[in-house]
Every structure is written in structure tokens, then in C-alpha cells.
Structure 1
């Protein structure tokens, strides 16, 4: 059955940015399917149908996408929002921990994209909106694995967008800055802290907590997601919030040495 309304699939929709994006898409006229690793424990959202999904599992991705197609007959917009954070100095992070971050933040997007593209391509249209971060554009001290995953999302999205445009499909990026979602409380911590980084790691956690506390509301990011999903002539990148916009501009126009000096100053790094 094909619905008269466009259909959006939003991963990680039980809280934070994903929740606000799902509700904003409902208001924009979409039938919305949200996902959570255990949908039975999600508080209901008006207008949002929930399905189970673990973006780190091939079978889970295939099953969830097929459920949406079977129920609604189409997927017009995929919002890849599910993600994880990971803090600590790079030397303190094991390869296995970094791989876990990439399995969700990067390969989760790849799995979801691979699952919906055949359907979108056969229908001659669709949009895939990938949640990157301002850390996909700038360095993030003591968040190296997280920043690397977001840089990978940027490169993957921009490349795939060129692959699929001729089939009526666009792959777009939304780049939030600091957002008041409690990100810092959900970040995984290193399992092998080194004394050499103790002082600066604590400072980095304080800086991150302050930036999240004073960050943009999740609804600000949701507005950018809806714009990416609905603009008649979409942009490749949508920065979400004034800080993200300023940092994106500064990264492009400020000399490298000056830019990195400011990064160190903001993060209270010596030298």
C-alpha cells in the first residue's frame, strides 16, 4: 500500500534530536516511523510509529526497513540520527572501542543507506539526511574517535550524493553544534585511562559539559532536518544553530594557525 503522505524514517527517535525531528516531520505532513533499539520501552509520540532497530546489526536494519515498506509502501526520507559519543585522549582509547563508535556512527549510516537506496532508486526519488556534527569539520580534542567518525560521515555523504543524484535521490548533511541533549552524560568513557592525561581529560569533560548545557535546543536541529527533507532545491550541508554556522565559516576563512590556536584556547589546552 502506498500512502498519500510522504513517509520519513528516523533512527534514534526515542529522545533528543531524533525525537524532536520525528515530531517536527509529523507537523510538516509526514507519516513518521521512529526507531529505537527496544521500541517497547519508548514513550509514545503523537503521529510516530516505532519499530525496533539496531543500526549496528545487518539483519536488524534489513528487517526494520522492510517493515516500513510493507506497512507504508514507500520511504521518502531517511534521517540517520542514531549515534554514540566517546571521550578520552586518543592514546587511552582501544581500537575495539573506536571500532564500536564507527560501527554505529559510520557503518550504521552505510547499512541504512544500502537498505533504502534500492527502494528510493526504483521510485525515482528520495532523500537521505545524515546527522553529522560541527566535529565533522573541526578537530575535537579528547573526542578523536567521535570526530573521526563524523569526518567519515561527511566524506561518505558527499560522495554518495554524487552517485545517486541522477536517480532522483539526494544525500544531505545536517551539522549541529553543541546541543542540549545530555550528550556528555551518555558518552562512553575510556576503559584504560592514563595518568598523563588525567588533568586535561577532566578539563575537556568540563568544557564539553558547559557547551552542552549552554547549547542549542534539539528543536533547532530538528528545524534544519525538516528543511533538508523538504527544501525544493536542497543544500548539501545545513548547519544547525548560530555556533555551528560561525564555526563552519571560520574553518573556511581563518588561517590555519590562527584557527588551531583558538581551538586550543577554547579547550584550555597548554602550548
Structure 2
């Protein structure tokens, strides 16, 4: 024996894989010899994108694709997930990556835009999680939720997006506690600005423009769309690191499994600034918000 430990071949199911982080994660996991169930709303688009990835024959043999809409409801998702579990007999890793960002202002977007944003980013993620957790529990596997640095950064014009990702963060923290005793790990990934086919290319809704916000909207629109293509984050490197963390190898070898994986210098800075803001507010007001409001 040479003293090396052979790594287990994992079975991943990943949502939202026709572009962005999802597509890069598929190829990163396959390159390690793992098996991947790649899902997207459009199977035609997904297959076309994956055909451009120059996969080896071995990687193609380890790949299955599935048309899946995370807003289809828990019953539909459970049926599809249970079917995918028959491909290789188990599911070891669920990555809730599917989501989108719709730029806009709170008063102009209102509850209509908020509900649309939360339906995908929060309730769709929740439904996919509950549909897949029985298999993750059985394999003592890993749940990965893709959040965002927008949870910590108050940024016009992605308030609804940021709020939805804050909900994802809180949900991940809670479920991590619930499943820890069952041998299941949960990870929140919080990326900063990465050069993907994502939110910075999205168009604003113009259904309810309010003149009072014209100057703010115009300035935010200009700044927002100027970011696309200039992001420093490399999504391929980020997803290679995520595979390292899940598999406990490469850059993550010898490190404890994290609760948060904050990706990018901008995301690091945003998280630290938010922590400092909260700490400062607590310290400044604790003389009247602590014991002063408790029973004598």
C-alpha cells in the first residue's frame, strides 16, 4: 500500500446548469471523476451549451441531463428527483444554483416584483431542497446553496435580489443546524461579482417608473450595466474551489468544512463591513437596548 486514500466518486445534482456558475460546476465535478445530473429549464439549451465543453468520453458517461423547473412545485420535483436517484443509485450532493436577478427599485417594483424574485430564488430553492434531502440524508451527503454578497451589500438596484439571497443565507444557516446530527453538511456560497452570464446583463422593468426616482434610476442603470464584462471574478476558478471544498481536496485539503464560502475580494470586504456595522450598532446602543429593557 502507498498510504493514499482513494476518494469516493460523488453523485451531484445541480440546478441551473445551462450558463453561469452551474455550467462551470458541471465540468469541474466531471473533471474529478464524479457523476453529475445537470438540470435546467430548457434541455435544448442545456445540451447545446454542454456540447461546447469538450467533454471526454469518460466525462460524458458520467453525465446525465434533465429538464427541470424549480418553480414546478414540490410534488413534481420529488418525482423528478426520485427518478434521478435511480441513475446511479444515490445522490451525494445537491447544489441549489438556479436563480435570477431582476434589477429595480423597491417602490417601483412593489410586491409583484418581490414575489417573482422570491418564487425562484427562495421558494424554488426550498422545494428542491425538501425534494432531495431524503436522498442526501441517506448518503450523509452535502447541501450547497448559492447565495450572494448582496446579502450584506445594500446596493441599488438589486434590493429584491439581495433580500432573496439574505433569505437563502438564513435558511441555509437554519437547515445546517437541523441536519448536522444526521451526518449531512450544509454550505452557503456567497460570491461577489463574477464574469458570468448573469444579473448584470438583466434589463430593468419599466412598468412603473416613478418620476421622483428618475435621477437615481438613470445613474444606477448606467453604473449597473457598466459592470458587465469587467468583473474580476473567474467563475471557473470559483467552481473548481467549490469542488475542492465538497471533496476535501486540493486547496481545501486538511481544512475543516466551512459554513460559508465567500468568493472574491469584493465579497470578503462586503461581509467584513457588514459585520463591523452590526457590531458598531450593538455596542453604541447596548446601554439602553440590553439590560435596560429586561425585567428587574
TM-score normalised by structure 1 residue count: 0.86
* Corresponding residue for residue 168 of structure 1: 183
Residue matched to 2:24: 20
Q: 1:105 aligns with which of 121, 126, 144?
A: 121
Report what 2:37 is aligned to: 33
Q: SS of the counterpart of 1:179?
A: coil
1:152 aligns with 2:167: yes
Structure 1 window deviating more from structure 2 (16-25 vs 230-239): it is 230-239
- Which whole-Å deviations, capped at 9, do the CAs of 1:232-261 have from their partners, x for residues lacking one? 731000011222122222222357899xxx
Match of 2:194 among 175, 179, 190: 179
2:78 touches 2:132 (CA, 8 Å); kept in 1?
no
Matched, 1:204 2:220: yes
Any gaps of 5 or more consecutive residues in structure 1?
Answer: 259-271
Runs of 4+ displaced beyond 4 Å: 254-258
Name the CA shift for 1:94/1:250 in 2 (closer, same or farther; >3 Å). Answer: closer
- Alignment check: 8 A CA contact 1:180 1:214 kept: yes
- Within-5 A mapping of 1:16-165: 16-42=20-46, 43=48, 44=50, 45=53, 46=55, 47=59, 48-58=63-73, 59-123=75-139, 125-165=140-180
Instruction: Give the match for residue 262 of structure 1.
Output: none
RMSD: 2.1
CA contact (8 A) 1:88 1:189 kept: yes
Q: How many residues align?
A: 254
* Secondary structure of 1:141's aligned partner: coil
Secondary structure of 1:106's partner?
helix
Distance 1:187 1:81 in 2: 21
User: Is the Cα contact below 8 Å between 1:52 and 1:64 reproduced in 2?
Assistant: no
1:240 equivalent in alignment to 2:263 = yes
Q: 1:141 and 1:221, CA in 2 relative to 1: closer, same or farther beyond 3 A?
A: same
Deviation at 1:188, TM superposition (A): 5.4
Higher mean alpha-carbon deviation, 207-216 vs 192-201, is at: 207-216
For residue 184 of structure 1, report the CA deviation from its aligned partner.
Answer: 1.9
Query: Which structure has the larger Rg over C-alpha atoms?
Result: 2
The answer to whether the Cα contact below 8 Å between 1:56 and 1:108 also exists between their aligned partners in 2 is yes
Deviates more, 1:82-91 or 1:25-34: 25-34
Distance 1:190 1:74 in 2: 46
Distance 2:226 2:194 in 1: 11
Q: Return the alpha-carbon distance in structure 1 between the equivalents of residues 224 and 182 of structure 2.
A: 41
Confirm whether residue 189 of structure 1 aligns to residue 205 of structure 2: yes
- TM-superposed deviation, 1:147: 0.6
Q: Quick check: 133-142 or 215-224, which moved more?
A: 215-224
Structure 2 regions of 5+ residues with no counterpart? 1-7, 249-254, 282-296
Residue number in structure 2 paired with 1:268: none
Q: Which of 234, 237, 254 does residue 220 from structure 1 map onto? A: 237
Change (3 A) 1:188 1:126: farther
Q: TM-score, normalised by structure 2?
A: 0.79
Contact 2:103-2:205 within 8 A present in 1 as well = yes
